[in-house]
Structure 1
């Protein structure tokens, strides 16, 4: 008789544990590392709670500038990007059976970029001075099987440098891999 009660108790606990896993809230990953390929970058994304992360990136940026006097110039510069992200559609994606693993979802972000002095500073390409950009972004991130990662974000920003303050479009497209667990 005691074996039957013990078996019943274990069965109830197991059923509750399985049901709790099915009803578990969908949330962002606590720690995620990525390597981007298009423009070499290292990314760390730290999850604070179920929907919010701090995204930190060190990368090389590419810029374009046109002036009627100097003409067209392209420049390459090291950049640090910090974003506070809010993933707003994880539950909706999960309910539709879509992937939410490794922060696969849409997000809104407050972003701060620091662009260092350009690496190509000869007369042909011009010089790009350090600048700081604040931006409000919308974007999405998808991590597929094999940990292949795609990310796009865009939005309006304000750029500050020693000469000027101006409104700028902020866009980013990355392809890479999530590394680690």
Structure 2
């Protein structure tokens, strides 16, 4: 009886130690580049499987307006806060896969604000309208080597355009898509 109790306590301590190893990092910093922009980010630990990602970057896009015969390329700042739940950390540890740098699959709620600031120039008769979007997203992040990462994600959510007094919008909200593929460097 005493031996089985000691064996049970020993087994429980091994399982607890393994579960404690499967945790997001306390804090991690990095930069990422993608098809339409570049970003600097920090992820801070909220719990063993949840991290809050804060991000400051430049989003890029194309615009076209057939009414005034104008099209071009635009760069705008983006401020993002995104709680991420890394749901498969224990499974990755049990298969001896890496979880450093928060490498794993995640579900997030990406909240992004674009102010009405354009970094490059656009035609004088065009006005960029600020917006805020909330997009539930599924994604993965993996490490390559010690410092390099890649990340991909997809999500569908809501966007709200913040109307100015002198601007007419036929609709001030709608659907937003988050489709990203990024490579990065982790400090």
TM-score by length of 1: 0.79
Cα distance, 1:92 vs structure 2? 1.4
Instruction: State the partner residue of 2:109.
Output: 110
Cα distance, 1:106 vs structure 2? 0.5
Aligned residue for 1:98, secondary structure, equals coil
5+ residue gaps, structure 1, are 1-14
Following the alignment from structure 1 to structure 2, what is the Cα–Cα distance between the partners of residues 124 and 139? 39
Contact 2:135 2:158 (8 Å CA) reproduced: yes
> Which runs of structure 2 are paired with 1:63-142 in the superposition (5 Å)?
63-69=61-67, 70=69, 72-116=71-115, 117-123=117-123, 126-142=126-142
Contact 1:111 1:134 (8 Å CA) reproduced: yes
Larger Rg: 1
Q: Alpha carbons of 1:64 and 1:166: their partners in 2 closer, same or farther (altered >3 Å)? A: farther
Larger CA deviation: 127-136 vs 44-53: 127-136
Larger CA deviation: 45-54 vs 165-174: 165-174
Give deviations 1:67-98, integer Å, cap 9, x for gaps: 44245433110100110110011111222222
Following the alignment from structure 1 to structure 2, what is the Cα–Cα distance between the partners of residues 168 and 67? 20
> Are residue 32 (structure 1) and residue 31 (structure 2) matched?
no
Cα distance, 1:32 vs structure 2? 0.4
Contact 2:19 2:90 (8 Å CA) reproduced: no
Following the alignment from structure 1 to structure 2, what is the Cα–Cα distance between the partners of residues 80 and 61? 10
Instruction: State the partner residue of 2:44.
Output: 46
> Are residue 178 (structure 1) and residue 186 (structure 2) matched?
yes
TM-score by length of 2: 0.77
Report the aligned-residue RMSD: 2.5
5+ residue gaps, structure 2, are 1-9, 164-168
